[in-house]
A and B are shown apart, each in its own frame.
Chain A
């Protein structure tokens, strides 16, 4: 049983707090520098920008981390998926598509299932990505899962001999 996901339990939360912290720090620093110099209108605009950015940042990060499962283990013929207290066994033959998408900060593997399970029809997780990888470089985990899912589907569909 090999773990093929990166632990996302903590990192998005840490990132979320770090982003919020940086924003608050920037706001406090700017307020301190402007105190006595900036007009009330400037301060109001700054406060509105900080509040709006906080909400946008918070919901963006939450939206991203909420769609990810916590852990995915590769158990050869099936994947063991865990999120919160629940877990699901996903046979590779029931995976009908594997999508790998990467941005400069994140990479996500999405598994589309034949039938929806406890976590829905799509299971998304963060795979291990080597450092200094370009965004269009194929991911080893995603490629391996794609090949094995295709093979498992073909074996299931092949007539018994």
Chain B
């Protein structure tokens, strides 16, 4: 059972980031209030609230629908998202998309038949160093080649 999705980036992006981001800004806001008082730190409070709102919205847009974990089990994938689990046969994957942004990249698998998690599985592969602006990802290439083979086998 090989893990295809990144472990640490997933944890940081999905779990830790909102707490870290809001926490740091919140601490700065309270420090400002305690040191300057309410009246003088109105500008800081407004900026902090705006930053938290925009940051949380951007985080939600960037991570919404991301799978928590994807494992390769040979002829199918095991996908976990929000305490739900789905098995996706490779022959059901009809398209594999890789985009390097947002870092460390996104692999989107389009399925022929929707599974429990929908008709698209999106996950973050482990980070890599890319020189090209539009690079190929080895995991995406491998999944594409194997899904084509699996479809051909089924006829």
Contact = CB atoms under 8 A, between A and B. Distances in A.
B9 to A, nearest CB: 15
A79 B96 CA distance: 20
B106 A136 contact: yes
A101 interface: yes
A64 interface: yes
Contact of B155 (A104, A106, A150, A157): A157
A76 to B, nearest CB: 20
Contacts of A99: 96-98
Interface centre among A136, A150, A153 (most CB of B within 10 A): A136
B61 A100 contact: no
A63 B144 CA distance: 25
Interface in B78-118: 94-102, 106, 110, 112
Interface string A119-154: 000001000000000111000001000100110010
Contacts of A60: 133
B99 A134 contact: no
B133 A103 contact: yes
Contact of A134 (B61, B94, B112, B133): B61
A103 B100 contact: yes
Contact of B97 (A63, A98, A124, A157): A98
B47 interface: no
Given A64-B133, A134-B61, A150-B112, A101 B99 contact: yes
Given A64-B133, A96-B148, A150-B112, A101 B95 contact: no
B8 interface: no
B98 A97 contact: no
A150 B95 contact: yes
B27 to A, nearest CB: 29
Given A135-B102, A136-B101, A136-B106, A106 B133 contact: yes
A106 B144 CA distance: 24
Contacts of B101: 102-104, 135-136
Contacts of A81: none
Given A104-B101, A150-B94, A157-B155, 15 more contacts: A96-B148, A97-B96, A99-B96, A101-B98, A101-B99, A103-B100, A103-B101, A135-B102, A136-B61, A136-B102, A136-B106, A146-B110, A150-B95, A150-B110, A153-B94
19 contacts: A63-B132, A99-B96, A99-B98, A100-B99, A101-B97, A101-B98, A102-B99, A102-B101, A103-B100, A106-B133, A106-B134, A112-B144, A134-B61, A135-B99, A135-B101, A136-B62, A136-B101, A150-B95, A153-B94
Interface of A: 60, 63-64, 96-104, 106, 108, 110, 112, 124, 134-136, 142, 146, 149-150, 153, 157
**Which 4 residue pairs are nearest across A and B when measured between Cβ atoms?**
A135-B101, A101-B99, A150-B94, A101-B134
